[in-house]
Structure 1
């Protein structure tokens, strides 16, 4: 029998265990001082005074982070000075009462633990695309998991739209919601890029958390990782370009997951990697005589060369806007259909590319279609002095777009289905380098489209989506 726990004649084993439990984990009289409204676990887990990441505790009364638990530590001093007594260790997820320094074990605190570290079972993940159940935040507002706003710290809307878009690509989402899918990936000694994968996984779980305290999430930790591993190329204090961020981010995740050039080497390649064939021919200088041109065309360097090239997204070019506008046409914005800008990939349309000394004509045809197709509509052209924006509206159907006509002949025989549905549409508003980004996203269980701009989330009619200046689109292959 343990010291201090003597059994009386009429005491059962269960009662004895309860008695021991109450002695080791006394009931805390301060649990009603916890303020769930101020709890925000989206920020970096570091002490608000010493900026140390070691042994950090969150005060559950005011929401601030402090280091340590022993006498004279910042958390201990805060508990005495402010009479805030309940703390959570952000690493071990254990609760403590300070300054008395005893552990609190109470099932009523499980919701706080889940907000800090949401977890998903395989069954829960399978239901995400079919469950239309709404969740309720602490303030009573309703939200759909996955359709939550992202905080704009200063100028990170260009990152937010990409992170939101990727969170609705089913294979990417399902992979990152379960930490065991990537926790065993081994990186070389001294390489810390895997933290980018962990941060993205944490953000994904918070976006899809059905028990969030708030209807928005702050991507603060995720963006800190982006700034660090992009060597400050992408900041959240200055506006950037979503396509640059998307390209870098997908490649960085792919490398951190030990991905190679093979299609099945990472979840990124499995989801987005396609392949195209490029036919290139060099064209002689324009100012040459016909005879000289003819002679050059006989040389091997002017023959057509064929190369295979993988792609994570397709770049579509807009027709140049009219140079001169009359009074009537001044207010008319030019329009073009998506099929006409996709003709670049039909293996017939030739596009001219100039280098500093040579000119080339290229034809493109797609040889492999990925399960999710990203289309980038090139709206900005940069010259020596400034950046110009092409405001041409692209008309596109939201459902059943057939990409089969852009496949090479032999590739067509391999695909039973080549039609895609739109699931995400990123838009640029305003002037180049100064404008803002927003997006439209499809909520699959309800079939409802939502417009998301940082913290603002509103329902939108599908017919309104095509009226915007689309910039990046994500399409899903119909199965």
Structure 2
């Protein structure tokens, strides 16, 4: 319920779902269940100190969670930002340039491809995002001198360097060197820590603690 509690404290999102007329023409049961849950939590005369989310969870299990193509929804207004992506892959071609401009989800897409002499293809384009996925460092395999596993810690600002436009991120499935830069921030930024990975046998969780230091002026 922590993600839900965080979402209903986003002021524009909360105000939108407190008024059923705003989404009465929507056909998604998930939207209506979330609206009901929001109204119950923020009800001024709520009899109980807690609200049951079972109806909302049932709607989540049955819902189609594909991303909507409408860029004017309240979700996109609150959480959509823009990234500039630089993708570098290996190629045997000779120097060439291509440029194309299009529009997707209401965001202008510019793309340029440069085939350089060092057998690498560099593509630059912009894409919208609703959340930023942060990569955590690999957990320690060995125990310390006290025979205990040390839970690693990492400052939030260190893992945010992935989006500084200079840090290179390598992909394994489709080998490439990626660089990301945030060109437009949303009103509310959602950060997703990539904690779970699958291997041949089971699903592993990365226990790394992310430290957020707040400096007061």
Paired residue total:
194
- Normalised TM-score (structure 1): 0.38
Residues 1:270 and 2:77 aligned together: yes
- Report the counterpart of residue 105 of structure 2 in structure 1: none
Give the 5 Å matches for 1:3-42. Answer: none
Residues 1:395 and 2:200 aligned together: no
Between the aligned partners of 1:198 and 1:178, the Cα distance in structure 2 is 11
Q: Spell out, residue by residue over 1:124-167, the C-alpha distance to the aligned partner (whole angstroms, 9 max, x if none).
A: xxxxxxxxxxxxxxxxxxxxxxxxxxxxxxxxxxxx22222211
- Report the counterpart of residue 373 of structure 1 in structure 2: 189
Contact 2:90–2:121, Cα closer than 8 Å, also in 1: no
- Report the counterpart of residue 86 of structure 2 in structure 1: 279
Alignment counterpart, residue 148 of structure 2, candidates 317, 326, 330: 330
- Report the counterpart of residue 154 of structure 1 in structure 2: none
- Report the counterpart of residue 339 of structure 1 in structure 2: 157
Alignment CA distance shift 1:275-1:313 (3 Å): same
Between the aligned partners of 2:202 and 2:90, the Cα distance in structure 1 is 30
Worse-superposed segment, 271-280 or 332-341: 332-341
Q: Which runs of 5+ in 1 are unaligned?
A: 1-159, 231-247, 285-295, 401-479
Alignment CA distance shift 1:170-1:363 (3 Å): same
Alignment CA distance shift 1:176-1:351 (3 Å): same
Residues 1:196 and 2:30 aligned together: yes
Between the aligned partners of 2:30 and 2:215, the Cα distance in structure 1 is 34
Alignment counterpart, residue 361 of structure 1, candidates 169, 173, 177: 177
Give the 5 Å matches for 1:136-215. Answer: 160-183=1-24, 185=25, 192-193=27-28, 195-215=29-49
* Structure 1 or 2: more helix by fraction: 1
What is the root-mean-square deviation of aligned Cα atoms in Å? 2.3
Between the aligned partners of 1:349 and 1:360, the Cα distance in structure 2 is 13
- Report the counterpart of residue 100 of structure 2 in structure 1: none
* Structure 1 or 2: more strand by fraction: 2
**Greater Rg by CA:** 1
* SS of aligned partner of 1:217: coil
- Normalised TM-score (structure 2): 0.80
Alignment counterpart, residue 309 of structure 1, candidates 123, 127, 139: 127
Between the aligned partners of 1:318 and 1:380, the Cα distance in structure 2 is 10
Give the 5 Å matches for 1:236-251. Answer: 248=65, 251=67
The 4+ residue runs of structure 1 with deviation greater than 4 A are: none
Residues 1:386 and 2:202 aligned together: yes
Q: Which runs of 5+ in 2 are unaligned?
A: 96-114
Alignment CA distance shift 1:213-1:307 (3 Å): same
Deviation at 1:329, TM superposition (A): 7.2
Between the aligned partners of 2:141 and 2:48, the Cα distance in structure 1 is 49
Between the aligned partners of 1:376 and 1:307, the Cα distance in structure 2 is 22
* SS of aligned partner of 1:199: helix
Larger RCO (CA within 8 A; separation ≥ 6) = 2
- Report the counterpart of residue 17 of structure 1 in structure 2: none
* SS of aligned partner of 2:140: coil
Alignment counterpart, residue 57 of structure 2, candidates 213, 220, 223: 223
* SS of aligned partner of 2:85: strand
Alignment CA distance shift 1:209-1:309 (3 Å): same
Deviation at 1:371, TM superposition (A): 0.6
Q: Spell out, residue by residue over 1:401-437, the C-alpha distance to the aligned partner (whole angstroms, 9 max, x if none).
A: xxxxxxxxxxxxxxxxxxxxxxxxxxxxxxxxxxxxx
Contact 1:321–1:334, Cα closer than 8 Å, also in 2: yes
* SS of aligned partner of 1:373: coil
Between the aligned partners of 1:363 and 1:396, the Cα distance in structure 2 is 24
Between the aligned partners of 1:198 and 1:174, the Cα distance in structure 2 is 14
Contact 2:155–2:210, Cα closer than 8 Å, also in 1: yes
* SS of aligned partner of 2:31: helix
Between the aligned partners of 2:44 and 2:170, the Cα distance in structure 1 is 51
Deviation at 1:227, TM superposition (A): 2.4
Between the aligned partners of 1:303 and 1:353, the Cα distance in structure 2 is 15
- Report the counterpart of residue 233 of structure 1 in structure 2: none
